A and B are shown apart, each in its own frame.
Chain A
Amino acid sequence: MAAVVILVALLGTTHPAAAQPAGDLPAVLVSRQAAEALSLSVGSVVQVAPPDGAAARDFRVAGIYEPTPDPSRLGNAIYAVRLHLPDVLALTSPPDAPKGAESVDAINIRLAPGVDALAFSRDVNARLPGLAARPTTDAGAAAGPFRVLERFHLAIAIVTIIASTVFLVALTVMLVDERRETVGVLRLIGLPTSRVLVQVLIEGALVAGAGSVFGLALSLVSEGLINRFFQWRYDTALLFVHVTPSVALTCVLIAIPLGVSATVIASWLLLRRNALRLARR
């Protein structure tokens, strides 16, 4: 049986002078955190037992693995060993349990390419009453806390965008006001309002585009720094910040229209005034 399961079990100390040669012992994989905590290396011999501590058995450490990052266990070191399923059953089943009475928590199935996971799970549910099959993409309950956090982050982002917009408008109002005389002269030498507005529009788009590029570059740099810090802080391989192309695109799609709109609105407020008033000092 090639299936491998995770058993959070009691790990005993190493004892190299085991009665059985280490090479003949069943193999286990040990999580990096457990290996560090117990000073284990490949080839070490460990005792593994169910949580009640009974029926401990010797195992040979065949490898050390990095646990799959699990956000729900953030802050907790993952002390785990991976055993072959028959070894787990031998450890956990009562000695008098009849053959075939063993149970497992879950069976993971990889489907052939093109097979509809939902249809397959429906088929399993219909054929095997008492079992619950569902596609891995439908892990709604497990994802609950992260969906809530996603909504929380979205709310924070909206507040940040509102604050940025207010400041942006304040800045553009000041910058446009600073060029009041120039705009007045342009109007006096015959440039229509629409022509000046087009110029402002292009200028705003250029500035917003440059700002977006700078912002993206900053986010890419900070992505690495933030991930490194939190991975160190929580001793995990989890990615905390990930700037995906869609996130980058969303940012650009918000930033450029926002920047251009702020510039045009501030300029329009100025251009509505009389050209002579604009040019007058």
Chain B
Amino acid sequence: MRALRFAWRSLVRQPARAFLGVLGVAAVGALLFDMLMLSDGLIVSMRDMLERTGFDIRITASGDLRRMGDRMHHTDATLATIRQLPHVGTVLAVRFVAAEAAPPEDTIATNAPEPGMVALTLEGVQGDARPWTVLSGRDPAGDREVVVSRALADAVRVTTGSELVVRARCTSPDQVLPPARLHVVGIAEFPFELVGDPTAGGAMAVLDTACAGRSDESDIILASALAEVDATAAAIRAARPDVNVATNEQVIGRLQRNGFTYFRQISSVLTVVTLAFALLLITVLLTVSVNQRLGEIAALRALGFSRRRVVADVLCESVLIVGLGGLVSLPLGAVLARGLDAILKTMPGIPGQMYFFVLEPSTLGLHATLLAVTAIAAALYPMQIVARLPIAATLRNEVLS
């Protein structure tokens, strides 16, 4: 405790130097904090999103993420087969169709496939539940009623009771179909709505209306399990071996292996770089500081301070710089994470409710541990200088100089 107080006095004696040291550690610590949040942020965020939808099992044609893989045919028969299985709760088939809608004339859309048009996704559902949460209005019914996301409502300036005129592109991006006039019956939150790709959702019949023809296809079938999820998934797999069945955990595992590896890698690289940077610079700061005070330290030793005590002073100084910098780095890192998240969220194909930087209790613990290790490692060399300091020779040099 005395050593800590003594180290504090050493720091406040040189306020500018101490302030800059703490500020530097805070900046590096903020970057480190963000990289730790980034390393598993997408996975944690995705797991949270998957769990919030209330479905445990995802069935697709090829196992790819939505819109990247093939469509499943014979949706009616597949739904009937899955419903008959024991321990299957709600089942929901979803089909996505690219479409475009005309905004009011005074609006210019930036994501328009054609001048003046807003690109959107029409989401058709068939089954026992709805994948969206109605915020205002009511759930759609029939073949012309839809709910729209807040983003779509803002982009084309529609609200509950408005008419939404869309042109769907059901079979190819160049398909030209007659416009479909849909009625907006509510505003809803779509958990997997992509940034820059607003969504309208309704019954599967709405898609048939927009596509001018009935189609028994779906992109994904979601199912909830009433009993053990893996066993239920295995039962579905056995009943329909031609489709790909994955539990939420398997989807997460697949993303961990392939989908989000880039961010984990860059996070690991930058974590190592920031720690090495912090270590190097704190070592230099402490070493220069100790070298400037060699005479003073030798005098303290001559007065009776033990070797252990002066070494502890240096360690405490390092702990104080890194500790204070680490504390400041937390709010700084949170602000920085918001900025970086906003940049990354502009990436196409990212759901709006997904976050790259997610704070977990373990992140705070790891951040503190890494900084503590850095503080100790950075103090090793200056501690060695102090421990091996020849008292008489140093005092003599001090007097002669």
Q: Which residues of A contact B (CB under 8 A)?
A: 51, 74-76, 130, 132, 141, 144-145, 148-149, 151-152, 155-156, 159-160, 162-164, 166-167, 169-171, 173-175, 177-178, 226, 230, 233-234
Contact = CB atoms under 8 A, between A and B. Distances in A.
B303 interface: no
A167 B22 CA distance: 9
Most buried by B among A141, A156, A175, A233: A156
B23 A159 contact: no
Contact of B20 (A152, A173, A226): A173
Given A171-B284, A171-B285, A174-B289, A162 B17 contact: no
Interface of B: 16-17, 20-21, 23-24, 27-28, 30-31, 70, 174, 257-259, 261-262, 265, 269-270, 277, 281, 284-285, 288-289, 291-292, 336, 339-340, 343-344, 346-349
A159 B31 contact: yes
B348 A178 contact: no
A124 to B, nearest CB: 15
A145 B343 CA distance: 11
Given A51-B70, A230-B265, A167 B24 contact: yes
Contacts of A151: 343, 346
Given A130-B174, A151-B343, A174-B285, 11 more contacts: A145-B348, A151-B346, A155-B340, A156-B270, A159-B30, A166-B20, A169-B20, A170-B20, A170-B23, A174-B17, A174-B288
B262 A156 contact: no
Contacts of B261: 74-75, 234
B21 A152 contact: no
Nearest to B62: A51
B31 A152 contact: no
A170 B285 contact: yes
Contact of B339 (A75, A155, A169): A155
Contact of A162 (B27, B265, B292): B27
Contacts of A132: 174
Contacts of B262: 74-75
Nearest first, the 10 closest Cβ-Cβ pairs linking A and B are A170-B20, A163-B27, A166-B24, A167-B24, A148-B347, A75-B258, A167-B281, A174-B288, A144-B348, A166-B23
A145 B259 CA distance: 14
Contact of B343 (A76, A148, A175): A148
Given A76-B258, A162-B27, A177-B292, A170 B343 contact: no
A233 B20 contact: no
A160 B278 CA distance: 11
12 contacts: A74-B261, A75-B257, A148-B346, A151-B346, A156-B270, A162-B27, A170-B20, A170-B24, A171-B288, A177-B292, A178-B288, A230-B265
Contact of B336 (A149, A159, A166): A159
B288 A152 contact: no
A144 B174 contact: no
A173 B17 contact: yes
A170 B21 contact: yes
B344 A163 contact: no
B344 A178 contact: no
Contacts of A144: 347-348
A87 B189 CA distance: 47
A264 to B, nearest CB: 16
B197 to A, nearest CB: 12
Given A156-B270, A166-B24, A174 B343 contact: no
A175 B288 contact: yes
Contact of B27 (A155, A159, A175, A178): A159
